[in-house]
Amino acid sequence: MKKILALVLCSCIVLGFSGCEGNTPSGNTGNSGNSGSNASSGNSGSGESSGGGHSQGVTDTEIIVANSAAVSGAYAPVGEPFLKGIEAYFEMINDGGGIDGRKIKFIHKDDEFDPVKGKAYLKEFINDDKVFAIVGHFGTPVVGATLNDLKEAGIPAVYFATGMGQLFNENAQGEDRNIYPVQPIYISEGKVLVTRAVGDFDAKKIGIIYTNDDAGMDLLNGATVKAEELGVELISQQVTVGSADVSAAVTSIKQADVDVIIGAAIQGTFPTVVKELAAQSVNKPVLTTYVNASSAITDAIKDDIAGKFDVYANAWVDLTSGDRAAAYEQYVEWTKKYTGSDDYANNTYAMTGWIAAHFFSEGLKNVEGDITWENYMAALESKPIQNPFGGEIDFSDGKRLGTEEMSLTIADSSNPTGWSEFKPMQSISAILGD
């Protein structure tokens, strides 16, 4: 049975990097130690060093990047593996001589999931440490508090550990251009879910039950746009996050006699919706976000849906197919070499850190001429970049959509992951047969 891993990163739980001492990549001090780069107050947004040529954070021997994230307190179990994934990737790059002879120096600070601290650290990274880029900007509270700061500074920011809708942009220009999301954004995923309902289930009328939070409303937003584009009817019902009673919403969807139901709810609310659908014998296929593709969700609903209907979820990672399998083996090799442990082989958060570092590095490899912010952004936009464990992302023409190329999994309690592949990794156009 095929091994599928859906990376579960929701907008209210965020990845972080660990400030563990000891086993760090070459050149990584773990603190803000970029000597000789004092900055004047404010930032011109150009990122150019006083010496001309390359932008700030770039020397003949290294390129300095940074991020802040919670690595203490409740989020440490998430943050530490994310850091290990990023550091292991940069260790691999540096062990191979770097990129065009320059090694990656990574600076990290623990913002404790506090947007005030995250905002202060970002200012230090840009103005004091003079870093070249932010890699793996972390978490809805911090990203929300600092997104405008990133745009005003003009510093490239690659990979955001949140699916918040503010990252979605179909035509990023000017101050919006330097934002490069990779992780799925709920607006984009809402479009994918409607596309799956139409392309894979021939749905003409789709029901969507969504929560009254950002995740639910962003999923609804994307689903509404795509339903209008495809000319299908979308019937929506809202439920309160964490509500124990969703019967009214389910009854309305049942009475609408829809072909497919989208569960635009995450964490504890989604199983409640599925259980009520089963209780009211609404035996229609249910599609949901990748965030719900965990064994815990399958365990919570398996007895209720048995013999009634199937539940499907998106996934943006496949560790077994072709080149992805080889990339996974490389990941396992380097995380073990870097950490001295096998503990990260199947850790979703470590894998996303690896993905974040990969996208930054791939852009760097494509730079033509001096390594400036402008040239680096042009390189990111010059051609699609392949997720080592998933599909391509195309940043050209201002597209800041996050991951749209996804596979579809089916809840399967016989699989240790709780899910098995139902449809392969496909783009929206491929799903529709275009």
For the stretch 195-242, pLDDT in tens is 999 999 999 999 999 999 999 999 999 999 999 999 999 999 999 999
What pLDDT, on the 0 to 100 scale, is given for residue 325?
92
What pLDDT, on the 0 to 100 scale, is given for residue 26?
35
In 10 A of CB 170, how many CB atoms? Answer: 11
How would you write the pLDDT of the chain (434 residues) with one tens digit per residue?
344 454 443 333 333 222 222 333 333 333 333 333 333 333 344 565 434 589 999 999 999 999 998 888 787 777 788 888 999 999 999 999 999 999 999 999 998 889 999 999 999 999 999 999 999 998 889 999 999 999 999 999 999 988 899 999 999 999 999 999 999 999 999 999 999 999 999 999 999 999 999 999 999 999 999 999 999 999 999 999 999 999 999 999 999 999 999 999 987 899 999 999 999 999 999 999 999 998 999 999 999 999 999 999 999 998 877 789 999 999 999 999 999 999 999 888 899 999 999 999 999 999 999 999 999 999 999 999 999 999 999 999 999 999 999 999 999 999 988 999 999 999 999 999 97
10 Å CB burial of residue 169 (0-12, 13-18, 19+) is middle
Q: Indicate the domain borders of the chain.
A: 62-184+321-398, 186-315+406-431
Class of CATH domain 186-315+406-431: alpha beta
Contacts 24+ apart (CB under 8 A), 328-336: 328/388, 328/389, 330/92, 330/388, 331/85, 331/88, 331/388, 331/389, 334/88, 334/89, 334/91, 334/92, 335/84, 335/85, 335/88
For the stretch 350-399, pLDDT in tens is 999 999 999 999 999 999 999 999 999 999 999 999 999 999 999 999 99
Topology of 62-184+321-398 in CATH?
Answer: Rossmann fold (3.40.50)
- Provide the β-strand partners of residue 315: 407
Q: b vs e for 271-296, b when ≥16 Cβ sit within 10 Å of the residue's Cβ?
A: bbbbbbbbeeebebbbbbbbbbbbee
Look at the block and give the residue holding tokens 């999931």. 113
Q: Give yes or no for a contact between 138 and 69, defined as CB atoms under 8 angstroms apart.
A: yes
What pLDDT, on the 0 to 100 scale, is given for residue 257?
98
Q: What is the DSSP string of 93-128?
A: HHHTT-BTTBEEEEEEEE-TT-HHHHHHHHHHHHHT
Tell me whether the CATH fold assigned to 62-184+321-398 matches the one assigned to 186-315+406-431. yes
What pLDDT, on the 0 to 100 scale, is given for residue 38?
31
